Structures are given as C-alpha cells and as structure tokens.
Chain A
Amino acid sequence: AQSVTQLGSHVSVSEGALVLLRCNYSSSVPPYLFWYVQYPNQGLQLLLKYTSAATLVKGINGFEAEFKKSETSFHLTKPSAHMSDAAEYFCAVSALTGANNLFFGTGTRLTVIP
C-alpha cells in the first residue's frame, strides 16, 4: 500500500524567501513520487516527478525535490518565493510497477507575503 503525509496544512513565506514543503511517503514497493500544484478553481498541474533516476528532481517554475530513501521523504523546495507561487501543493505516490493510481496527501496551502 502507498500513502503520503504532508506536514503543515498551511505554510507562509515572505516573497524572496525559501519555500520548503514537506512530504513523507510510505510504500511497500519502490515508489514513483510527484508534486502537483493547484491554483484556485483549477485542476492539478504536475510540478515534478521522481521515477527512480536522479534523486534530485528539477521541475517547472524553479521548484525541485530530493528523494531520500533513508528518510522516506520527498520535500519540495524553491530558493526564492514569488507571489505567483501562492497555491495548494499536493504530494502524491504511486507504485513503481503495475497500477499507476496516484495516492495524494492532504495538501499544503502556500501563502506568499509581499
């Protein structure tokens, strides 16, 4: 079975500050890991994904995430927050093989303070 836990339902950062959104996963098989972003009244957009290649994954809009197997973590970071980064962020996991159903965390709402 797969699941993810996102620590912190709300995160506030100042514009230009580091963004760190935390995600820990649980998986009985090697996982695929994803970060999605959801803007108000919109669907989900893929930011980045880990598929067992490089452990440091770079995504769109300057975001990146590092897969740490020893910590079962896949935290999302961005060096400098922009106002346009304000949104809901979801971490998700699926099995590396077989069915590719996504299991989502409960989300973290990012607020960027001017």
Chain B
Amino acid sequence: EAGVVQSPRYKIIEKKQPVAFWCNPISGHNTLYWYLQNLGQGPELLIRYENEEAVDDSQLPKDRFSAERLKGVDSTLKIQPAELGDSAVYLCASSLDAGEAFFGQGTRLTVV
C-alpha cells in the first residue's frame, strides 16, 4: 500500500513568488493534516481537514497561505507571496478518523 505522497520533495523560489505543494493521502483516509517544520523544531499544525472540510485552520497564516482539499482526497497548500521566513519543511499526514497519523516525506522549501 502506498503511503502519503508529497511533491515536490524540494523547491527553491525567490521571495515574493508563489509556491504550491501537493499531497496525496493514503487511500481511504478521511483526515488530512498539513504541518510546518522549521529547522531544529518539531512539526506545528497548519490545518486539518475532515474529508473536504477544514475543521482546524487556526494556525494557518491566512494572509499568505491557503489550502484546499477538493473531493476530500488530494490537497494543495499554497503560499503567495513567499517570504524568507517561510523556508522550512512542509509535512502532510493522513489518518482514518482519529487513528494513527501517517506522514509523507515532506517538501523542503527554500526561499532566497
């Protein structure tokens, strides 16, 4: 069974440019999470979806970040415009209801 798939694995962009990350969760998992992991830190939740509904987006900086989960499967996280401080690893995870969360390999973003 395929795990959580994220793309791209690495992305380098100039500041003020837009960027998007894609996540394909494990088949059948209705809950999807986006986490931000800064260097030397633990992951921090950005947004959690139950099916296609964002049920917790309190930590998502809505002035520049947006996310969507169309049809309750794949999800996209977007930053526009990117800032130097957005350089980090963006992790996607999925779970079946409140079960174990499985993580993807992450997308490492570098903003120059």
Contact = CB atoms under 8 A, between A and B. Distances in A.
B41 A43 contact: no
The CB with the most chain A CB atoms within 10 A, among B4, B40, B98, is that of: B98
Contacts of A100: 31, 95, 98, 101
Interface in B39-90: 40-45, 48, 55-56
Interface of A: 9, 36, 41-46, 49, 90, 92, 99-107
A9 B44 CA distance: 17
B95 A101 contact: no
Q: How large is the interface on B (under 10, 10 to 19, 20 to 34, 35 or more residues)?
A: 20 to 34
27 contacts: A36-B103, A41-B105, A41-B108, A42-B105, A43-B4, A43-B103, A43-B104, A44-B91, A45-B103, A46-B100, A46-B102, A90-B43, A92-B42, A99-B48, A99-B55, A99-B56, A100-B31, A100-B98, A100-B101, A101-B33, A101-B45, A101-B48, A101-B56, A104-B44, A105-B42, A106-B40, A106-B41
Given A43-B91, A99-B56, A106 B100 contact: no
A92 B98 CA distance: 15
Contacts of A99: 48, 55-56
Contacts of B45: 101-103
